[in-house]
Structure 1
Amino acid sequence: MRSNRFAVMRGTALATGLLLALAACSGDDSGDKGGDSGGQTLKGVKLEVAAVWTGAEGNGFKKVLEGFQKKTGATVTLTPTGDNTATFLQTKIQGGAPPDVAMLPQQGVIAEFAKKGWIKPLSPEVQTLVKQNYAKVWQDFGTADGKLYGLYFKAGNKSLVWYRTKAFQDAGVQPPADWASFVKAAQTLSDAGTTPLAIAGGDGWTLTDWFENVYASQAGVEKYRQLSKHEIKWTDPSVKQALKTLAEIWSKPTFMSGGVAGANSLLMDQAVTTVFGDQPKAAMLSGADVVSANITETKSKVGTDALVFPFPKTGEKPPLVGAGDAAVMLKDNKGSQEFMKYLASPEAAAQWAKVGGYISPNKGLDMSNYPDEVQRTSAKAVIDAGDDFLFDMSDLYPAAFGGTKGSGEWKRLQDFLKNPNSVDATAAGLESDAAKAMKS
């Protein structure tokens, strides 16, 4: 999302039928050694790749595709999926016109598509590269029924809060490490006449990120993984406690740009502008590492005007929740296999890393490829987490619950943002929706 699967600009995705042809122009030479494909071995081969990325993310991914085209001679067409990747692909598959490769932002969709026979297992050669370059947790995320289907090309660190340096300096606020300090900092900013937060509730997936960060730290890793698999119910006391904690922020309209109504309509790209644009209206926002790419599209500079701190801990340890987008093959052909082999290499990851707004879970990628220390630190946290990395919970569920606009968890948390007193009703609604999605 989601990812967010954090995906700035997804709400403005182009119409699903639009095809963006990419010229086979030169990409940056990363200096990293990747797979052994090359020598224009795919000259004349046409490949269609579907992905949710547009805006800054789309531009970063185009660098990857351009690098592949230069290396192999293939012609690649990028098809934007729109906000609901699973539905878009299902329509294309049932219509007999699936893309060759697709990037799936929800781990639960890999299992769904594998069960239906819509995606193909990775070749032994690609599996070898994945085992060489990726921690076991990323291999597990891409596995369904004992077979490796997904290659996680993009990761995301969602346990971050970005802030405008001047707003904090003017109010005399320091980056908070725990939730109590976070609430206190928000109150101090508000008292100083600065709206503390831009909450992008119009994109429901951003609210799931808030919940997951609070829950991961407060309830702990074991409970988080149990809830991710629906081994405990959403009516569990731990869920209700997390909702009550969120309400300490969400119940205060003065803490949110535009109040409750504004927060429920604000999209993530708008939230970035609200904090870092020419006329800022808030001091900070919770968002994944990709926010850095969108900040650079404003006049603010990451590392000086814009800084970041870890999402405040609500328990003994701070959370480290993230997401990832996995490449899967819908067609098993030479072009698809070579592309997957390329994506498994540090060389491919370096193409996007140099642009910024991107984290690779590929251990072979040299950290010097990231453009600044902020992004290197965030990427290192994901790599160092190894098998303790917690995947975005909403992405682990079927898309009907965790990844569909206007329904499931997205809608329940949007409603909770409007009425933070409805803890029991929200928990019951989440459980009802989750149970229904798990049965389908």
Structure 2
Amino acid sequence: MADTYDYDLFVIGAGSGGVRASRVAAAHGARVAVAEEYRVGGTCVIRGCVPKKLLVYGSHFAEELQDARHYGWSVSGMEFDWPHLRDTVLRDVDRLEGAYKTTLSNNKVDSFLERAEITGPHAVRLASGKTVTAGTILVATGAWPVMPAFEGNEHCITSNEVFHLETLPRRVVIAGAGYIAMEFAGIFNALGCHVTVVNRSDTVLRGYDETLRDRLLQITMARGIEYKFNRKLQQVTREADGSLLVHTEGLDPLAADIVLVATGRRPKIDGLGLEAAGVTIGDRGEIVVDAENRTNVPSIYAVGDVTDRVQLTPVAIREGQAFADRVFGRMDVPHVDYHCIPSAVFSQPPLAAVGYTEGQARNQFGDVKVYTSDFRPMKNVFAERAERGLYKLVVDAGTDKILGIHMIGPDAPEILQAAAIAVRAGLTKADFDATVALHPSMAEELVLMR
């Protein structure tokens, strides 16, 4: 292959999946290059879960400082500086991008910081005009926010731009009620903004267990977030003072300083040359791949969000690792299992889940048992907060096997990661019952349900 192509592997997209695949393939001895048209690190590091989680941490202090007086602390003169938080988060993004670049360099991966387009089964053309050949091409370009077509959508922003706001808005309208929408609704609400969520259906966080969705809705409404359900954005206009008016079906216009559209993400395939190379594209714009992430063109693979199977960073990393081990390590690695994947929404409070929801379990298995613990966290009791946590176990009535765990409350994602191992391992309700509780903790509720 060394005499035939410039590289053994050429990766398009230096996000989590692409970087992992590049690094592992190079460790197996492959000659690897990666092209990235924007910034190394991809959605998660540059404009997604990492900077968003830092904003979540920053917004939590509003509640923590209010609660501190119940623990004997006198806090006065509280002020919040949005530019300081924003710039601190962006500096950390710069640090992480540098770390990703160093990882590629240390593993002797050549980096092209420019756009790449596939021109054939073994060739790509860079924006500079240079053509590079490779035995294998991997597409790992991720996904991109969807901006629906409506009048005035140029006045709106997506999750790409929200990290760069010049000032903290007083009034925020968010279109959508998925995890991105609900996370930013919690951030802005905690920072003192008036938040209105406009959603075309009457469901938040579609796909999560209904009891958790209802609990989050109750808590966030009590915190002051307003919801306009069964409504679609029709028009957004800019007023003379720079503010926005949001027009929806059947409602008076909503005044806003920013309108954040978070109505979904689609695979980022525009301009990649996939059609010219003969790569099959699915109905949702996704690259169609088999269980080994190979497209219908034998030399072209794809991993991560661009395949639109499960849009989660850890899944992209798993796929990238498995691809590199299989193709360049000649290893017989198992296919990525997409069933028992834990997930979390860093709303306020956060929720986390793994396995089947109650509805899914009843449809799949018929007879199931459901155990719940509805409790007020000790911290909330002492801080005189009425908010309650809710944990839920979904169990196969015939086998006693845990089919799903669903949690909402402080630190739910941190607790669920360990609990997800139990579900993945096929443990039973009896195994949970036999485990001694760790007291006092919220996590102990998982082993105390009867």
TM-score by length of 2: 0.24
| Higher share of residues assigned helix | 1
| Higher share of residues assigned strand | 2
TM-score by length of 1: 0.24
Task: Name the larger-Rg structure.
Answer: 2
Structure scoring higher RCO (CA < 8 A, sep ≥ 6) equals 1
